[in-house]
């Protein structure tokens, strides 16, 4: 099998497969074997000696030793899948926000305690070494982290699921703050090498762009199409092992990197421009250079469409390659054995690409190709914001993917014929349901392509799925109600409790055993303990230690000292107007104003923490970051405020920061405008670690409240329906005038209290709050938010009651494990059998 490219020097191959070369002998999991390996890697592979003092090399040596233990399990898992020739699912996603791998691998292999102890014998502290690992930040936020949690749960449930994504050279930008403003720095996460991946050049694929379609008659006289004169790029896979929890299963995340073919631009080359010809290679390699840093919106960039097609095409070709290696060329059974889950509209060009591969390369007829495609594709929608539903100009498609556009037109024509049969003469409906949006610049609606081409379409929380079929996708729902379903999101308790909160893990294990780590429903067994004072005391001690750890992080990064006895009030997530960080700031200003007005009897000291990245081109969000920092500065430096209120913005929010933040949080802010946040997953991480939620009836907050009970959730704000009604006659100026508190807050903002030397900079935020068209309706929810915050503050003063609620939040978080989410996907969409790998000899 050629790899890299047809005209590359052919790789030399063994004359027959060699079985003796692979030894599947299990490496020791005991301290002695592990330490022997670590020392071996440190000296023999990395070439370091006692003069080397950085933590990086011990980290690398440790990672290699751990990785070795994954390898044999990885190989045997993949062999079991192949031997059983089982049905499989492929999770296609432009984002996988994996964070760090070391701690997770040690936990899942059950060698964390042994290694911690062993390293101490070498004079090393595990936590210090682990800090050397950069986050794999190949995602923006919730959607990308969800994909990572899904992979963890699939491996734990022993489901044959493979992730397919892109190996960006630069992940999510690093954020630092200068004079209160966000500044973006490139994240070259691969700079020091990545021990958690294996390059698999032998599975390299070719992906085409440009060119045009040519028609010809095949041997049977049938008209067929081929895509010619293309500019090709190679896709080289890098595999990352995804270990299950103590079960011998290791699944794969396969990330594609673009590489130039060895074909020089001949014209340039012959004209003597050798260096220019070589230089044009960069174009190809640019495709996987950088992750687009936009959450919930896209900007129609050509490179982004290239990334999407690159992922879809390389992954589908890889699946077909694998299929043929196990089953030969016949594809009759393909749909029975394969399923593609499309993570949002980003990879949905896969629908057209699979059709192309089946029609043009496998020479199938349209109906057979369509029956395979529409029985293997499943689409997950992640947002109700219309700007996030991707549309690509037809013009761009024609230029970049002309053959794909032909196919999309054909899919659309057949689809519209179906619509016309169902609703004869209803041309308005035909226009609404068309994949092509007409207008001066016609667009391809990617969500519609996905809906038409998929057998399953799901939202990510009950409310979200309901709103999808009532609003955005209503027409399609009328056409195919059976396709639509809900799959409420989750998070993996392995990372988000067992790994990130070791003290709480120990307490839980002590009381109820450790079954909850792979069956989170079991955690409800701590509910009765909430009534026991001795247990609450132990819980309080854990929480306080976690708050100290968080306070240290805040002090280190922000120079602000948080008192661990205060209420830790936290909002961390992407900065976006709909998430309403601005409402949180208004509340902080309100508390500040109260202190200044001497209205602080029975005060609950509060430390407010915010963190999150704003998309680099999203001016309003960046201004919110600036406002948070400016308000924090005024509050923290006012001696009259003292310990009653502290406020900080933690720069460069990322997975590993959340691992310290969520265990140390008392109050979780989930305050989006109702109907805007599809699900949320941060809300679940906080709940699992025993925070109370202050939130609107939005996304999964609704289900969180249902699970824990009204009295342990701080509810405020208009419902989605009330928002819809009030929107028509929304007069924020009037609301502000009628509220003494909000008037006072606006007055401080408007008189420039927080921007004394930068007059006018916050005017756009003020104007947004005062605008009758404010889509997020901040002013409408202000008063009830302040009331809920006041309730939180009062409840916190009664620590016994607060802790009881905190314990009950943790106890009722069982539903929000991705183990449950994956079981739901599997039962209703994927229908995979769990496969237990043969343990290596
Ligand atoms: C992973 C693990 C490795 C295995 C390979 C198979 O890299 O042991 O050989 O996957 O890849 P596929 O042939 O299943 O794509």
Do the Cβ atoms of 349 and 403 come closer than 8 Å? no
**pLDDT value for 4:** 43
Helix axes 31-40, 112-121, angle to 10 degrees: 60
3-state secondary structure 573-624: CCCCHHHCHHHHHHHHHHHHHHHHCCCCCCCCCEEEEEECCCCCCCHHHHHH
**pLDDT value for 18:** 80
For the four alpha carbons of 93, 103, 460 and 666, in that order, the dihedral sign comes to negative
CA of residue 69 to ligand 1 center, whole Å: 16
pLDDT above 50: residue 240 = yes
Token pair for 292: 């687009």
What is the distance of C-alpha 771 from the center of its chain? 33
Cα 824–Cα 830–Cα 834 angle in degrees, nearest 5: 85
CA of residue 177 to ligand 1 center, whole Å: 42
Q: In 10 A of CB 574, how many CB atoms?
A: 22
Q: What SS3 class is residue 333?
A: coil
Phi, psi of 395 (to 5 degrees): -55, -45
Q: In 10 A of CB 434, how many CB atoms?
A: 17
Q: Which atom of ligand 1 is nearest to the CA of 81?
A: 14
Q: Residue 425: is it exposed, middle or buried by C-beta count within 10 angstroms (0-12/13-18/19+)?
A: exposed
pLDDT above 70: residue 264 = no
d(C-alpha 293, C-alpha 384), whole Å: 19
Q: Choose one of 89, 200, 318 to mutate for the ligand 1 pocket test, by most ligand atoms within 8 angstroms of C-beta.
A: 200
d(C-alpha 705, C-alpha 409), whole Å: 45
CA of residue 79 to ligand 1 center, whole Å: 8
Is any ligand 1 atom within 6 A of the Cβ of residue 689? Answer: no
What is the distance of C-alpha 363 from the center of its chain? 37
Phi, psi of 28 (to 5 degrees): -65, 145
d(C-alpha 478, C-alpha 460), whole Å: 20
d(C-alpha 25, C-alpha 8), whole Å: 36
Closest protein CA for atom 11 of ligand 1: 78
**pLDDT value for 385:** 83
Q: Which residues pair with 572 in a beta bridge?
A: 611
d(C-alpha 826, C-alpha 13), whole Å: 39
Type and span of the H or E element at 566: none
- Residue-wise pLDDT for 156-171, tens only, equals 999 999 999 999 999 9
Q: Which atom of ligand 1 is nearest to the CA of 318?
A: 15
Q: In 10 A of CB 338, how many CB atoms?
A: 21
pLDDT above 60: residue 9 = no
**pLDDT value for 11:** 65
Do the Cβ atoms of 526 and 811 come closer than 8 Å? yes
Token pair for 65: 């030793």
Q: In 10 A of CB 642, how many CB atoms?
A: 10
Token pair for 108: 């899942």
DSSP string, 79-136: HHHHHHT--EEEEE-S-EEEE-SHHHHHHHHT-HHHHHHHHHHTT--HHHHHTTSPPE
- Sorted by sequence, the CB contacts under 8 Å of residue 587 that are 6+ apart come out as 785, 786, 789
Do the Cβ atoms of 791 and 569 come closer than 8 Å? no
- Sorted by sequence, the CB contacts under 8 Å of residue 609 that are 6+ apart come out as 550, 554, 562, 568, 569, 570, 571, 572, 647, 648, 649, 650, 661, 665
| 281 carries an active-site annotation | no
d(C-alpha 217, C-alpha 219), whole Å: 7
**pLDDT value for 841:** 60
Is any ligand 1 atom within 6 A of the Cβ of residue 669? Answer: no
pLDDT above 90: residue 268 = no
Confidence of residue 1 (pLDDT cuts 50, 70, 90): very low
- Residue-wise pLDDT for 787-803, tens only, equals 999 999 999 999 999 99
Is any ligand 1 atom within 6 A of the Cβ of residue 252? Answer: yes
- Residue-wise pLDDT for 101-129, tens only, equals 999 999 999 999 999 999 999 999 999 99
Cα 102–Cα 103–Cα 104 angle in degrees, nearest 5: 90
Distances from the Cα of 440 to the Cα of 306, 392, 413, 437, angstroms: 23, 13, 20, 10
- Sorted by sequence, the CB contacts under 8 Å of residue 246 that are 6+ apart come out as 108, 109, 110, 518
Q: What average pLDDT does this structure show over 508-513?
A: 98
- The single residue of 100, 573, 644, 812 carrying the catalytic annotation is 573
Q: In 10 A of CB 730, how many CB atoms?
A: 17
3-state secondary structure 740-775: HHHHHHHHHHHCCCCCCCCCCCCHHHHHHHHCCCCC
| 574 carries an active-site annotation | yes
Do the Cβ atoms of 373 and 411 come closer than 8 Å? no
**pLDDT value for 388:** 78
Q: Which residues pair with 163 in a beta bridge?
A: 91, 253
Token pair for 95: 């984002």
**pLDDT value for 824:** 98
Distances from the Cα of 26 to the Cα of 33, 189, 640, angstroms: 11, 31, 64
Considering just the CA atoms, what is the radius of gyration of the chain in Å? 28
Nearest C-alpha neighbor of 699 from the set 461, 488, 486: 461
Do the Cβ atoms of 830 and 341 come closer than 8 Å? yes
- The single residue of 543, 574, 606, 812 carrying the catalytic annotation is 574
Q: What SS3 class is residue 801?
A: helix
pLDDT above 80: residue 2 = no
Residue reference for tokens 């949080």: 665
**pLDDT value for 265:** 65
Q: Which atom of ligand 1 is nearest to the CA of 200?
A: 7
| 626 carries an active-site annotation | no
| 499 carries an active-site annotation | no
Do the Cβ atoms of 200 and 239 come closer than 8 Å? yes
Q: In 10 A of CB 204, how many CB atoms?
A: 22
d(C-alpha 320, C-alpha 313), whole Å: 11
**pLDDT value for 325:** 96
- Sorted by sequence, the CB contacts under 8 Å of residue 71 that are 6+ apart come out as 241
Residue reference for tokens 């406002």: 627
d(C-alpha 499, C-alpha 503), whole Å: 10
- Residue-wise pLDDT for 549-582, tens only, equals 999 999 999 999 999 999 999 999 999 999 999 9
Question: Strand pairing of 606-611 and 567-572?
Answer: parallel
- Residue-wise pLDDT for 602-636, tens only, equals 999 999 999 999 999 999 999 999 999 999 999 99
3-state secondary structure 408-419: HHHHHHHHHHHH
- Residue-wise pLDDT for 70-87, tens only, equals 999 999 999 999 999 999
For the four alpha carbons of 327, 329, 333 and 336, in that order, the dihedral sign comes to positive
DSSP state of 423: S
pLDDT above 80: residue 295 = no
d(C-alpha 229, C-alpha 221), whole Å: 23
- Residue-wise pLDDT for 311-337, tens only, equals 999 999 999 999 999 999 999 999 999
Do the Cβ atoms of 677 and 578 come closer than 8 Å? yes
Type and span of the H or E element at 537: helix 533-558
Q: Choose one of 71, 74, 250, 338 to mutate for the ligand 1 pocket test, by most ligand atoms within 8 angstroms of C-beta.
A: 74
pTM above 0.95, yes or no: yes
Mean pLDDT (the chain) is 95
**pLDDT value for 21:** 81
**pLDDT value for 731:** 98
Closest protein CA for atom 15 of ligand 1: 322
Q: Choose one of 78, 83, 835 to mutate for the ligand 1 pocket test, by most ligand atoms within 8 angstroms of C-beta.
A: 78
Is any ligand 1 atom within 6 A of the Cβ of residue 75? Answer: yes
> How many Cα atoms are found within 13 Å in the side-chain-facing hemisphere of 564?
17
Q: Which residues pair with 237 in a beta bridge?
A: 256
Do the Cβ atoms of 352 and 404 come closer than 8 Å? yes
| 681 carries an active-site annotation | yes
Q: What average pLDDT does this structure show over 728-742?
A: 98
Q: Which residues pair with 571 in a beta bridge?
A: 610
Q: What SS3 class is residue 437?
A: strand
């Amino acid at each position: 099998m050629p790899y890299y490219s047809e005209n590359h020097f052919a790789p030399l191959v063994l004359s027959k497969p060699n079985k003796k070369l692979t030894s599947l002998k299990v490496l020791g999991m005991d301290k002695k074997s592990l330490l022997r390996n670590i020392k071996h890697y440190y000296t023999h592979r990395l070439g370091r000696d006692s003069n080397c003092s950085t933590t990086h090399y011990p980290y690398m040596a440790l990672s290699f030793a751990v990785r070795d233990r994954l390898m044999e399990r990885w190989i045997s898992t993949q062999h079991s899948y192949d031997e059983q020739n089982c049905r499989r699912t492929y999770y296609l996603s432009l984002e996988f926000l994996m964070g760090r791998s070391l701690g997770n691998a040690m936990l899942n292999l059950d060698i964390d305690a042994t290694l911690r102890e062993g390293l101490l014998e070498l004079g090393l502290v595990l936590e210090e070494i682990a800090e050397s690992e950069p986050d794999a930040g190949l995602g923006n936020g919730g959607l990308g982290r969800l994909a990572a949690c899904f992979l963890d749960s699939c491996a734990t449930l022993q489901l044959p699921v493979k992730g397919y994504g892109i190996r960006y050279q630069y992940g999510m930008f690093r954020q630092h703050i200068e004079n209160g403003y966000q500044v973006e720095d490139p994240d070259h996460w691969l700079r020091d090498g990545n021990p958690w991946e294996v390059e698999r050049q032998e599975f390299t694929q070719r992906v085409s762009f440009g060119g045009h379609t040519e028609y010809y008659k095949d041997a049977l006289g049938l008209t067929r199409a081929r895509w010619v004169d293309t500019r090709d790029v190679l896709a080289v896979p890098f595999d990352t092992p995804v270990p299950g929890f103590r079960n011998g299963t290791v699944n794969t995340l396969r990330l594609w990197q673009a590489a130039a073919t060895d074909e020089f631009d001949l014209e340039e080359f012959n004209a003597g421009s050798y260096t220019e010809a070589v230089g044009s290679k960069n174009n190809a390699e640019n495709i996987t250079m950088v992750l687009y840093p936009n959450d919930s919106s896209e900007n129609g960039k050509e490179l982004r469409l290239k990334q999407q097609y690159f992922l879809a095409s390389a992954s589908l070709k890889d699946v077909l390659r694998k299929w043929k290696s196990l089953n030969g060329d016949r594809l009759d059974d393909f749909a029975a054995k394969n399923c593609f889950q499309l993570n949002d509209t980003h990879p949905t060009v896969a629908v057209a690409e699979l059709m192309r591969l089946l029609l043009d390369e496998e020479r199938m007829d349209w109906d057979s190709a369509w029956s395979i495609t529409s029985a293997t594709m499943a689409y997950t929608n992640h947002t109700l914001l219309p700007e996030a539903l991707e549309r690509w100009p037809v013009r761009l498609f024609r230029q970049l993917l002309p053959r794909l556009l032909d196919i999309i037109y054909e899919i659309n024509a057949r689809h519209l014929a179906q619509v016309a049969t169902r609703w004869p003469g209803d041309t308005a409906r035909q226009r609404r349901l068309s994949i092509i949006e007409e207008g001066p610049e016609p667009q391809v609606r990617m969500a519609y392509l996905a809906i038409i081409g998929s057998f399953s379409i799901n939202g990510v929380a009950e409310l979200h799925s309901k709103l999808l079929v009532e609003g955005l996708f209503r027409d399609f729902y009328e056409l195919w109600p059976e396709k639509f379903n809900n799959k409420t999101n989750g998070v993996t308790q392995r990372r988000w409790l067992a790994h990130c909160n070791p003290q709480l893990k120990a307490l839980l294990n002590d009381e109820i055993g450790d079954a909850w780590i792979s069956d989170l429903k079991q955690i409800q067994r701590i509910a009765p303990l909430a009534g026991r004072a001795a247990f609450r005391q132990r819980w309080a001690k854990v929480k306080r230690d976690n708050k100290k750890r968080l306070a240290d992080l805040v002090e280190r990064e922000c120079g602000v000292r948080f008192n661990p006895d205060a209420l830790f009030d936290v909002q961390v997530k992407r900065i976006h107007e709909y998430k309403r960080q601005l409402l949180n700031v208004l509340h902080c200003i309100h508390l500040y104003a109260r202190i200044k007005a001497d209205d602080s009897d029975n005060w609950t000291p509060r430390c407010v923490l915010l963190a999150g990245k704003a998309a680099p081109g999203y001016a309003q969000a960046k201004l919110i970051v600036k406002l948070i920092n400016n308000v924090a500065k005024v509050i923290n430096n006012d001696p009259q405020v003292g310990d009653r209120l502290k406020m900080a913005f933690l720069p460069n929010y990322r997975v590993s920061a959340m691992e310290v933040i969520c265990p140390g949080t008392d109050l979780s802010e989930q305050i989006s405008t109702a109907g805007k946040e599809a699900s949320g997953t941060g809300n679940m991480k906080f709940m699992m670690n025993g925070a109370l939620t202050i939130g609107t009836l939005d996304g999964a907050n609704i289900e969180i409240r249902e699970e824990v009970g009204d009295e342990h959730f701080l509810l405020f704000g208009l419902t989605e329906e009330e928002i819809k009604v009030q929107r028509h006659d929304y007069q924020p100026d009037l609301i502000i005038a009628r509220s003494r508190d909000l008037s006072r807050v606006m007055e401080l903002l408007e008189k420039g209290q927080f921007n004394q030397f930068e007059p006018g900079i916050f005017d756009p935020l003020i104007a947004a709050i005062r605008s009758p068209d404010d889509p997020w309706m901040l002013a409408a929810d202000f008063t009830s938010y302040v009331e809920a915050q006041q309730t939180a503050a009062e409840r916190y003063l009664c620590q016994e009651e607060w802790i009881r609620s905190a314990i009950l939040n943790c106890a009722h978080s069982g539903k929000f494990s991705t183990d449950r989410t994956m079981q739901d996907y599997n039962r209703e969409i994927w229908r995979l059998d769990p496969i237990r790998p043969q343990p290596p000899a």
